[in-house]
Amino acid sequence: MAEPIPVGPDGVPPLWAPWYGIGFLDAFLRFFKKYARFDGRAGRSEYWYWFLANAIVTIVLYGGFIALLIATSPTTTVVDDYGYSRDVSGAPSPFAFVLLGLFGLWWLATLVPNLALAWRRLHDANLPGPLWLVSLIASPAAIVFGCLPSNPAGARYDRPDLR
């Protein structure tokens, strides 16, 4: 039988241990606390709540860029001497490119922790972290890996000595 996950006086498991049943905000904050930790495990709720938070930020930043690009680019129809018409677009709002820059910074800032979280999620299913590389070839594998149930044998990846 697997040993229970230890919790502190506040009911929060240490960073090296998985936090099953974590809430949305706690999962978001824990993601950044475990920025580049490839040891330990991450439960499904920790993985999927972060996935949701990341999707929301991405949609706001990149979706805002696309919306501003479409909404603020002036388009004029020009007819040449032969009767052919074409659309000529002007420069979009500079704020659109600010959003694109923020999206790029967000992507860079979360690249390593996204990989670390996926790695720990595989550990929770008692699979080796490098198996994540399969998702580079077959992207649906990332969804499958995120849905795998926890396996108590995954505790072998915990590192209580690295508090």
The pLDDT score that the predictor gives to residue 88 is 66
161: pLDDT confidence band, cut at 50, 70 and 90? Answer: low
47: pLDDT confidence band, cut at 50, 70 and 90? Answer: very high
At residue 53's C-alpha, the angle toward residues 19 and 9, to 5°, is 25
163: pLDDT confidence band, cut at 50, 70 and 90? Answer: very low
Residues of the chain with pLDDT > 70, as a percent, come to: 93
Please give the average per-residue pLDDT across 117-142, as a whole number. 85
Dihedral, 102, 133, 34, 24 alpha carbons, nearest 10: 70
Angle between helix axes 140-147 and 94-124 (nearest 10 degrees) is 50
The pLDDT score that the predictor gives to residue 1 is 42
What are phi and psi for residue 30, nearest 5 degrees? -65, -30
The pLDDT score that the predictor gives to residue 142 is 75
What tokens appear for 43 in the block?
Answer: 């439960």
Q: Could you please report the per-residue DSSP string of 99-123?
A: HHHHHHHHHHHHHHHHHHHHHHHHH
The pLDDT score that the predictor gives to residue 137 is 81
pLDDT in tens, 63-103: 999 998 888 877 777 777 787 777 667 777 889 899 999 99
Dihedral, 126, 36, 137, 19 alpha carbons, nearest 10: 40
Residue for token pair 């396996």 = 151
Q: Which amino acid is at 111?
A: L
Q: Between residues 160 and 151, which one has the greater pLDDT?
A: 151
Residue for token pair 């969804």 = 143
116: pLDDT confidence band, cut at 50, 70 and 90? Answer: very high
The pLDDT score that the predictor gives to residue 152 is 78
Q: Residue-wise over 114-124: b if at least 16 C-beta within 10 A, else e?
A: eebbbbbbbbb
